[in-house]
Chains A and B, each alone.
Chain A
Amino acid sequence: MKRIYIFKRFERFWHWSQAALIITMLVTGFEVHGSYDLLGFKTAVTTHTTAAWTLVWLWIFAIFWHFTTGEWKQYIPTTDKVKAMVLYYLTGIFTNAPHPFKQTRLSKHNPLQKLAYLFVLAVINPLIWITGWFYLFYNDWAAWGIDFLNLEYVAFFHVIAAFMMLIFLIVHIYLATAGHTPTAHIKAMITGWEETED
């Protein structure tokens, strides 16, 4: 067993606060959409909006951090070992086969993870942010000269993106248990230290 320091303090803060905000926004967002009645519409809307603005701030810091530290490179996708990873999740993981990917400080995400996060970054987030931004500034559309937009379609794509985020969250939480022990990854995300096999 070897311990390596993978997740730095800001990164961990970013991860967990973002997780809390996203879960909050999923819960309140589906209520705003009308899927259920939980907090009350008004509370749902105000909470959702506040969480959105908080996330904007968090992202400003996160983007700054990623560029100043060079950590953004962690998200550059690779096709190397993707097949091996898929096979591992389909078979090897059940038989205690060795993990095909070796985690290091310079490469902390496995190839499937990289693809998944890139999908979140390049597809889900833009969709959710662009539609969310228009949604938030609905009352300014006329002033901006974009009142040809239709809130129904904006809301539609916002909700689609929300469902993609929900599915990502489910799979992400599950795969967090797929370390060499079920809690290894989670501990690493809390302490920063990952235990890996040599």
Chain B
Amino acid sequence: MNIPVKKIYRALFLIGCFLASNVNANVAATKSVPAAAVPATTAAVVVDGGEARKNTSTADHSKFKELKKNFKSGPEVTKACLTCHTEAAKQVHNTKHWTWEFLNPATQQKLGKKNIVNNFCTSVTSNQTFCSACHVGYGWSDDSFDFTSENNVDCVVCHDTTGKYKKIPSLSGHPNYDVMEWPPHSGKFREPTDLKTIAQKVGKTSRASCGACHFYGGGGDAVKHGDLDSSLKQPQKYLDVHMDAKGLDFSCGKCHLSDSHEVTGSRYAPTAVDDNGALIRGNKEGRNPTTCVACHGNAPHPPGMDAVEKLNSHTDKIACQTCHIPAYARGKKATKMTWDWSTAGKLDEKGQRIRTRGSDGNVIYDSKKGDFTYERYVIPEYVWFNGEVKFTLFGDKVDTSEVVKINDFQGSAGDPDSRIWPVKTFRGKQPYDVGNETLAVFHTAGEDEAAFWGNYDWDKAMEWGMKATGVEYSGEMTFVETEMSWPITHMVAPKEDALECHQCHKENGRLQNIGGVYMPGTNNTPIIDFLGFAAALMALIGVLIHGGIRYYMSKRG
């Protein structure tokens, strides 16, 4: 056998990683305590202008007379933007960011935030005043919102560079224009938003501006996706090789190429496979530019690399992300893994809301929401995926005897258009309307007598929520187990940290549950090993006996 020099290096490396990760964990622990002191539900949308990106714009907005005034509201700012950018609002009107609707062309399912029920806060309907803090508009509080209004488009939330712009949940997509206590009952007060300065400093979108909403999905930092959190504002290389602030420093838009305010790369109809090689500019095939293949092509591993052909040929079965994102939630934050609504509503002896924190500082019980669990450095689950996702939508009859898949990733080993993808699967228990046999829509947030957050009355919250969808609550509710998955595609590790062959090619390796494909190294026919080695052993014993007799006879002469 070789002198295991490589193994020694590997061991040293692992020890180093272990020490480094402990240091990280300690830093994260000390930092996350004060951060977690802000309740997750009040994580307002704030653009953190942490990026010192060189401004290459040919226009200095602070010199525009249209912007040299004291704006009283967001829509006033938009009106000023539209005097020059005459078509911008119309463009935004056509996007998912505005409509919160998406018609999946493959399944004809009507998706989008407006329509789907998830297993976090579950649904936007009846809760718009709160949820629209992440809408690129102003004033969406109920169904009467005017989706044709140009002035109601919020330009600033995506184009702010100051980090001072903050849309407050409960203000229907507006920032605060007056002094306001925030978070509620915190004793902290926010100054009125300085719209003039913010408007004069608008610029391109950035990791911070996109992240103002997308890092906080599910109600808090890192909560929903696991591969998107605030550590990506200024990430180090280990966290994301492309967004590395001191390296390639990609903005989101570098991959999510946009035209006419339409941002590419959708989770509703993802591109699971693209065999057409790198996407040359000018290409008119309408391919999705937000894929690894679009830049790296289908033979991404460079010549001369160890086992390069074998690695490149793996692209016919495996998505790039499977090897190159060895774990998610690798930043400073833990991601939420489970949410059990069925325990929500417990109050202390004084009838007050209870909130309990776990050892890592994250809230693990909240009367408003129920029980949670969190994890960091999470190993993804893996599925065959061909890009088609089937949703269980509001009104769809569900079988409550088994776990309800809110979305179901289609694909199989035999399908040439399927690849093995890493996913985050989020599991929970959530309200279900027994009479209507559907996942429930219920009213969570609001200053009224029905909102669950404050009244803790399921029937009222259900009645109000279901009514907002046009369905009468049956009067009987229970909780069903659900799961929902997201493809893991951010937090791409440097190549040194990509998975090693043996992490899948061994017994009980990472892909042990994937099925449908023979994987060398997994020893999935142990009977052959047994019979084969038994036969070899018998041959060995046979020749040893034969040799023994020969030896004995020769000694005897």
Is A163 a contact partner of B536 (Cβ separation < 8 A)? yes
Chain B residues whose CB sits within 8 angstroms of the CB of A95 once the complex forms? 553
Which of B118-126, B178-186, B399-407, B515-523 participates in binding chain A? Answer: B515-523
Chain A residues whose CB sits within 8 angstroms of the CB of B502 once the complex forms? 37, 40-42
A139, CB-defined interface residue at 8 Å: yes
Which residues in window 25-76 of A have CB below 8 A to B?
A: 31-35, 37-42, 45-46, 49
Which of A120-128, A165-173, A187-195 participates in binding chain B? Answer: A165-173
Is A33 a contact partner of B520 (Cβ separation < 8 A)? yes
B103, CB-defined interface residue at 8 Å: no
A139 touches which one: B316, B501, B535, B553 (CB < 8 A)? Answer: B316
Is B518 a contact partner of A155 (Cβ separation < 8 A)? yes
A184, CB-defined interface residue at 8 Å: no
Is B521 a contact partner of A33 (Cβ separation < 8 A)? yes
Chain A residues whose CB sits within 8 angstroms of the CB of B306 once the complex forms? 42, 46
Which residues in window 481-525 of B have CB below 8 A to A?
A: 500-502, 505-507, 517-518, 520-525
Q: From residue B94, how far is it (CB to closest CB) to chain A in Å?
A: 39
B539, CB-defined interface residue at 8 Å: yes
Q: Which residue of B lies closest to A94 (CB)?
A: B553
Chain B residues whose CB sits within 8 angstroms of the CB of A19 once the complex forms? none
A4, CB-defined interface residue at 8 Å: no
A130, CB-defined interface residue at 8 Å: no
A146, CB-defined interface residue at 8 Å: no
> In the complex where A33-B520, A45-B310, A170-B543 touch, is A159 in contact with B505 (Cβ < 8 A)?
no
Q: Which residue of B lies closest to A38 (CB)?
A: B1
Chain A residues whose CB sits within 8 angstroms of the CB of B550 once the complex forms? 93-94, 178
**Please, what's the 1-or-0 string for B296-323, where 1 marks a CB less than 8 Å from any CB in chain A?**
0000000000110010010010000000
Chain A residues whose CB sits within 8 angstroms of the CB of B254 once the complex forms? none
Is B520 a contact partner of A155 (Cβ separation < 8 A)? yes
Q: From residue B247, how far is it (CB to closest CB) to chain A in Å?
A: 27
A174, CB-defined interface residue at 8 Å: yes
Q: Which residue of B lies closest to A174 (CB)?
A: B543
Q: Which residue of A lies closest to B307 (CB)?
A: A46
Q: From residue A75, how far is it (CB to closest CB) to chain B in Å?
A: 22
- The A/B interface has a contact count, at CB < 8 Å, of 96
A166 to B533, CA, bound (A): 9
B505 touches which one: A41, A46, A142, A160 (CB < 8 A)? Answer: A41
A150, CB-defined interface residue at 8 Å: yes
Is A33 a contact partner of B523 (Cβ separation < 8 A)? yes
Q: From residue B419, how far is it (CB to closest CB) to chain A in Å?
A: 14
A109 to B196, CA, bound (A): 98
Is A156 a contact partner of B539 (Cβ separation < 8 A)? no
B521 touches which one: A32, A94, A142 (CB < 8 A)? Answer: A32
Is B2 a contact partner of A166 (Cβ separation < 8 A)? no
Is B506 a contact partner of A156 (Cβ separation < 8 A)? no
Chain A residues whose CB sits within 8 angstroms of the CB of B553 once the complex forms? 94-95
A152 touches which one: B1, B506, B518, B540 (CB < 8 A)? Answer: B518
Please tell me the number of chain B residues within 8 Å of chain A, measured between CB atoms. Answer: 38
Q: From residue A26, how far is it (CB to closest CB) to chain B in Å?
A: 10
A177, CB-defined interface residue at 8 Å: yes
Of the candidates B520, B536, B540, B554, the one having the most CB atoms from chain A within 10 angstroms of its own CB is B520
A160 to B529, CA, bound (A): 9
B547, CB-defined interface residue at 8 Å: yes
> In the complex where A35-B529, A46-B306, A95-B553 touch, is A41 in contact with B506 (Cβ < 8 A)?
yes
Is A34 a contact partner of B506 (Cβ separation < 8 A)? yes
Chain B residues whose CB sits within 8 angstroms of the CB of A175 once the complex forms? 543
Q: From residue A7, how far is it (CB to closest CB) to chain B in Å?
A: 23
A138 to B313, CA, bound (A): 9
Q: From residue A103, how far is it (CB to closest CB) to chain B in Å?
A: 20
Q: From residue B416, how far is it (CB to closest CB) to chain A in Å?
A: 7
Is B500 a contact partner of A42 (Cβ separation < 8 A)? yes
B5, CB-defined interface residue at 8 Å: no
Is B523 a contact partner of A34 (Cβ separation < 8 A)? yes
Is B529 a contact partner of A170 (Cβ separation < 8 A)? no
Chain B residues whose CB sits within 8 angstroms of the CB of A46 once the complex forms? 306-307, 310
Q: Which residue of B lies closest to A165 (CB)?
A: B536
A105 to B94, CA, bound (A): 89
B520 touches which one: A34, A142, A163 (CB < 8 A)? Answer: A34
> In the complex where A34-B506, A142-B416, A156-B528 touch, is A163 in contact with B535 (Cβ < 8 A)?
yes
A151, CB-defined interface residue at 8 Å: yes
Q: Which residue of B lies closest to A46 (CB)?
A: B307
> In the complex where A45-B501, A46-B306, A174-B546 touch, is A34 in contact with B521 (Cβ < 8 A)?
yes
Is B518 a contact partner of A34 (Cβ separation < 8 A)? no
A170 touches which one: B501, B522, B539 (CB < 8 A)? Answer: B539
> In the complex where A34-B524, A42-B502 touch, is A171 in contact with B507 (Cβ < 8 A)?
no
Which residues in window 531-557 of B have CB below 8 A to A?
A: 531-533, 535-536, 539-540, 543, 546-547, 549-550, 553-554
B536 touches which one: A138, A167, A174 (CB < 8 A)? Answer: A167
Q: Which residue of A lies closest to B316 (CB)?
A: A139
Is A166 a contact partner of B316 (Cβ separation < 8 A)? no
Q: From residue B418, how far is it (CB to closest CB) to chain A in Å?
A: 13
Chain B residues whose CB sits within 8 angstroms of the CB of A156 once the complex forms? 525, 528
Is B2 a contact partner of A170 (Cβ separation < 8 A)? no
B313 touches which one: A35, A96, A139, A167 (CB < 8 A)? Answer: A139
A93 to B545, CA, bound (A): 13
Q: Which residue of B lies closest to A139 (CB)?
A: B313
Is A171 a contact partner of B539 (Cβ separation < 8 A)? yes
Q: From residue B13, how far is it (CB to closest CB) to chain A in Å?
A: 14
Chain B residues whose CB sits within 8 angstroms of the CB of A96 once the complex forms? 554
A95 to B1, CA, bound (A): 40
Is A37 a contact partner of B518 (Cβ separation < 8 A)? no
Question: A residues touching B (Cβ–Cβ < 8 Å)?
Answer: 31-35, 37-42, 45-46, 49, 89, 93-96, 138-139, 142, 150-152, 155-156, 159-160, 162-163, 166-167, 170-171, 174-175, 177-178
A-B contact pairs, 16 of them (CB 8 A): A32-B520, A32-B521, A33-B520, A33-B523, A34-B523, A35-B533, A37-B502, A45-B310, A151-B517, A152-B518, A159-B525, A160-B532, A163-B528, A167-B535, A170-B539, A174-B543
Apart from the given pairs A31-B521, A171-B539, 15 other A-B contacts in the complex at a CB distance below 8 Å: A32-B521, A34-B505, A34-B521, A37-B506, A41-B521, A42-B502, A89-B546, A94-B550, A138-B313, A150-B518, A162-B532, A163-B532, A163-B533, A163-B535, A175-B543
